[in-house]
Amino acid sequence: MHLRDWYDLTRLDHGILWGTAVVIGAGLAYRGFPPLKFVFLGFIIPVLIEVGIFALNDYIDIDSDILNKRTDRPLTRHAIPTQYPLYFSLAVLPVSIALGVLTGLKNPFLIVVAFIVLGILYNVKLKEFPLVKNLIMGLCIAAPLVGGNLLITNEILPVVMILSICAFTAGFGREVLKDMMDTLGDKSVGCTTFPILFGLRRSAILVSSLIGTAGIFILFPYFYPFDQIYYHDPFYLIPACATCALIIMCVYSLFKDTSRKNIQVLRKRTLHIIELGIITFITGALF
């Protein structure tokens, strides 16, 4: 059992992305670097929630992951004892709630509690329903941005909403890609997903539409004056176009090849799309 196994179990890179999204949402609302208290709590709370929920996910999904030959999951390769992820989740999730109290703010605390409840329900039951699980994962990527905004003000900025929509549609599409990759195991355990119901081709169309929508929305702040910081700002446009180019590459690759191996690659690229989208908004705010 190594640190790398725990990193794989918790998908810590996702947690770092969630935490960064909260800080960015707070920074956009604050119009600068937010207070250190909100930076610390805004980063660490979503990280703890993410690692707790994803560890619980692998504990519950071990049978399906074995059938899908998910050797990237530590439990399927017996790198971590089976019960450890459950104990880990039971340890870190209450800590995230306690830290949520320290914000001293009602709305962010309610988001913390809602996130945890939704994550547990997702792992236990909701993932069995087509598109519901995908919708929830999209919300899990978008909500940290709104939560960060709410740390500073109860008025949600239009630019935060735009970035949240981009994150939601890209996250939604990314989760459908995961379903396309896991059809064999999902069928074996009786889980009904969009690819199982409608096939890989229609799933590819849905994914392309979702991430394509993210590409359209990310260009809005440059062409429409939601926020003067981004309006006609070339330092925003350049990374925004790079994000759109990566989206086009993913869409082309998906229609060309729907093999499991290629979908695994595209799952990583769609995470890069989300990361690059966040960098785009940071660049626009700084320059």
Tokens in use for 195?
């690819």
Whether the predicted pLDDT of 51 surpasses 80: yes
Model confidence at 64, pLDDT cuts 50, 70, 90, reads: confident
pLDDT tens for each residue of 202-216 = 999 999 999 999 999
Q: Which among 30, 32, 31, 75 has a CA at the least distance from the CA of 54?
A: 75
Hey, what's the torsion of the CAs at 16, 19, 20, 21, to 10 degrees?
120
Taking residues 53-78, report their average pLDDT: 86
Whether the predicted pLDDT of 167 surpasses 90: yes
Q: Rounded to two decimals, what is the model's pTM?
A: 0.86
pLDDT tens for each residue of 229-246 = 999 999 999 999 999 999
The reply to whether 157-287 shares the fold of 1-155 is no
Whether the predicted pLDDT of 227 surpasses 90: no
CATH number (2.40.30.10, 1.20.120.1780, 3.40.309.10, 1.25.40.10) of 157-287 reads: 1.20.120.1780
Helices 132-152 & 12-30 angle (0-180, nearest 10) = 40
The answer to whether the Cα torsion of 120, 146, 168, 69 is positive or negative is negative
Model confidence at 1, pLDDT cuts 50, 70, 90, reads: low
Cα distance between residue 169 and residue 108, in whole Å: 22
Contact status, residue 79 vs residue 32, Cβ threshold 8 Å: no
Q: Which among 189, 191, 195, 202 has a CA at the least distance from the CA of 176?
A: 195
pLDDT tens for each residue of 121-161 = 988 888 778 788 889 888 888 999 999 999 999 999 999 99
Q: Give the pLDDT score at 287.
A: 76
Q: Where are the alpha helices (DSSP H) in the chain?
A: 3-10, 12-30, 36-60, 62-67, 84-102, 106-124, 132-152, 158-181, 183-188, 194-223, 234-256, 260-286
Average pLDDT, the chain: 91
- Superfamily for 1-155? UbiA prenyltransferase (1.10.357.140)
Taking residues 249-265, report their average pLDDT: 94
Q: What is the domain partition of the chain in residue ranges?
A: 1-155, 157-287
pLDDT tens for each residue of 99-125 = 999 999 999 999 999 989 999 998 888
